[in-house]
Amino acid sequence: MNGRSMNGELFALDRHGDSDSEAGLTDFAVNVRPGPPRFVLDALTARLPDLARYPTAGDDARAVDAVARAHRRTPGEILLLSGAAEGFELLPRLGARHAALIQPSFTEPELALRSAGIPITQVVLDRPWRLDADGIARLIPADADLVVIGNPTNPTSVLHPADVIEALRAPGRLVVVDEAFADLTLDPVSGEREPQSVASRRWPDVIVLRSITKTFGLAGLRAGYLLADPAIIDRLSMGRRPWALGTLSLVALAECVGPRGERYCRKVAAEVAEQRSDLIAGLRELGIEPATTPEASFVLIEVDDGLGVKRRLFEQGIAVRSAANFVGLGPGFLRLAVRDRPTTARLIESLRAGG
């Protein structure tokens, strides 16, 4: 197994799924879909001759307009990001005095806020890690003026109801919702996509972070966006560097959030739901239940010897994500990305053989 996964960094907050994988492995560790799709590649290829020039205002405007149309927002409510993680880096500019992080969840918000010296309360939910409106007053400190929640949550794959997000709002408080994986969520009954997203809710105290890199296989490009009240956008933008996004990132945003990207997401969301069912069925044949009901493009499991299973799978050429460094979890938890049926079958057979 690679050295980074074998030492104390296994529990470090800044370790992500790419640390659990490497070239040549069948990758269940990184929550990025195979891609990019052809229409995105074609759009990027067409702009390669322009890389000698700085990104243009037109490229920026096209990306902003695409996001605005997708979420029924105004351009003043949009901040384009070099990956959604950049949005977390910008949060300290809001001057929070006390942040509450709903855990387990993505580790980058904690890293960004701690580096700025902002006091943090870890709101660790009990299994199955679903926040309910009745528990908010009991769990969230009354003086928390910044609350961060993932929806769906990484790594648990829990999707919180939109009314729970709304219930987090309080006078003097900002709520940050990480929707990096929301575009592939589906209502299991109606088939509605993004059933619990609040990206189009124009609440003045709610900030939504989105990413295109997961669904469109663009993790190496870095592109995302933030939705918020114009006054918040102004505060986050102050002093930001020129050309924050490169030409290709702007082109990718316009394509992925535009009509072709919307159609692609609908198709992939249906595929993910079916593939996730295949994965769960295969795990259950081995007596492994999901740690909670998954609703995103990954499944969390708990096994007796998580690190041992991870190591044995690695030796068989399969990478899975240890959840040891997530607040509220531990080394027995593993996160599995949803993959196609043949790839999933290989994982199940490796687990059956002693992985």
Buried b (16+ CB within 10 A) or exposed e, 193-207: bbbbbbbeeeeeebb
Q: Is the pLDDT of residue 22 over 70?
A: no
Q: Is the pLDDT of residue 2 over 50?
A: no
Q: Is the pLDDT of residue 13 over 70?
A: no
Burial of residue 130 (number of CB atoms within 10 Å: 0-12, 13-18, 19+): middle
Query: Residue 62 — pLDDT band, cuts 50, 70, 90?
Result: very high
Query: Residue 11 — pLDDT band, cuts 50, 70, 90?
Result: low
Query: Residue 21 — pLDDT band, cuts 50, 70, 90?
Result: low
Query: Residue 1 — pLDDT band, cuts 50, 70, 90?
Result: very low
Q: What is the pLDDT of residue 35?
A: 78
164 φ/ψ sector (left φ>0, alpha ψ -120 to 50, else beta): alpha
Instruction: Name the percent of the chain lying above pLDDT 70.
Output: 94
Q: What is the pLDDT of residue 7?
A: 42
Q: What integer is the mean pLDDT of 231-254?
A: 94
Q: What is the pLDDT of residue 18?
A: 54
**Nearest-CA neighbor of 178 among 205, 215, 211?**
211
Q: What integer is the mean pLDDT of 119-135?
A: 95
Q: What integer is the mean pLDDT of 284-306?
A: 97
Q: What is the DSSP letter of 51?
A: G
Residue 123: which H helix or E strand, with range? Answer: strand 120-124
pLDDT in tens, 63-79: 999 999 999 999 999 99
Query: Residue 5 — pLDDT band, cuts 50, 70, 90?
Result: very low
Q: What integer is the mean pLDDT of 48-73?
A: 97
pLDDT in tens, 302-315: 999 999 999 999 99
Q: Is the pLDDT of residue 31 over 90?
A: no
The mean pLDDT of the chain is 93
Angle (CA) 328-98-203 rounded to 5° is 95
65: CB partners within 8 A, 6+ apart: 75, 254
Q: What is the pLDDT of residue 137?
A: 85
pTM for this structure? 0.92
Q: What is the pLDDT of residue 33?
A: 87
Q: What is the pLDDT of residue 103?
A: 97
Number of H helices, E strands in the chain: 12, 12
Q: Is the pLDDT of residue 175 over 90?
A: yes
Residue 349: which H helix or E strand, with range? Answer: helix 341-352
The residue type found at 211 is S
What is the distance between the alpha carbons of residues 216 and 37, in angstroms, rounded to a whole number? Answer: 7
30: CB partners within 8 A, 6+ apart: 16, 17, 18, 20, 21, 219, 319, 321, 337
Q: What is the pLDDT of residue 4?
A: 40
Cis peptide upstream of residue 331 (ω within 30 degrees of 0): no
pLDDT in tens, 186-219: 998 898 999 999 999 999 999 999 999 999 999 9
Q: Is the pLDDT of residue 339 over 90?
A: yes
pLDDT in tens, 85-100: 999 999 999 999 999 9
Is residue 5 within 8 A of residue 22, CB to CB? The reply is: no
Q: What is the pLDDT of residue 233?
A: 98
For the chain, the distance separating the N- and C-terminal CA atoms, rounded to the nearest angstrom, is 14
Q: Is the pLDDT of residue 242 over 80?
A: yes
Angstrom CA distances, 92 to 29, 84, 89, 232, stand at 30, 15, 7, 12
Q: What is the pLDDT of residue 16?
A: 57
Q: Is the pLDDT of residue 83 over 50?
A: yes
Query: Residue 321 — pLDDT band, cuts 50, 70, 90?
Result: very high
What is the distance between the alpha carbons of residues 148 and 155, in angstroms, rounded to a whole number? Answer: 15
